[in-house]
Structure formats: structure tokens, C-alpha cells
Amino acid sequence: MEVQNRFGKHLLELGGNNALLVAEDADLDMVSRAIIFACAGTAGQRCTTTRRLILHEKVYDEVLGRLKKGYEQIVKRVGDPLDAGVLYGPMHSQTGIEQFKKAVDQAVKLGGKIEFGGKVS
């Protein structure tokens, strides 16, 4: 209310529930790179991180296979973010790990299938 009274602008960081839509005629090389970057490239450090994929059924299997290959490369580069060659740091809190496990469990309960990862190592 105070901001509004002085005609100030509000700035809210609410996170996103962003989807990436993939049509049947999409360039799958570009799509694969875009998805990997949008989902993992900034490690959740921005509100536009992709959280959902909506894939045309004709490209579903191909995109899924490409994403598995892409994530295989990422998991090889998880570690201490101060080390050269590390792309992605590990979970840094037990709370984060528990939230991850709950999210995976919930996805499976709702009919989801874990295609890659889904485990704490």
C-alpha cells in the first residue's frame, strides 16, 4: 500500500511455471539444446527456468532420447562448483534433498515416469 501511495512500481519475484512447447516440425537439434539450457543451464537461478515440456506426440520419443543423452553429459560434470570443468553443483542442504525426493514421489504418484535420474546419490 505504501508503494502504491507514492506511485512506486512493484517488483515481485514469483518464480515461474514455464513450459516449452515443441511442435512436430521443430528443429530438434535446436530444441534439445534449448531445453537443456532452459532446464539446467542456469541451475534454477532465474524465474524463467523451464519446468514443463509439452511435446507433440510425433517428436516425443526423439526429444526424450536426446534429453537423456544431454543429461548424461551433465551428471558427469556435477561436483564442487569451484573446480574447473564442473557445470553443476550438488544439492547443498538436507531440506533441498528432501524437497527433491518429495517432488519425485509426487510425480510418480500422479502417474509420471522417471526417465532419467530421480535418485539421490
Give the active site residues.
Answer: 13, 47
User: Do 28 and 63 contact (CB within 8 A), yes or no?
Assistant: yes
Alpha-carbon distance of 13 to 113, in angstroms, equals 31
Chain length of the chain: 121
Dmax of the chain from CA atoms? 54
Q: Scanning the structure block, which residue is given the C-alpha cell 511435446?
A: 55
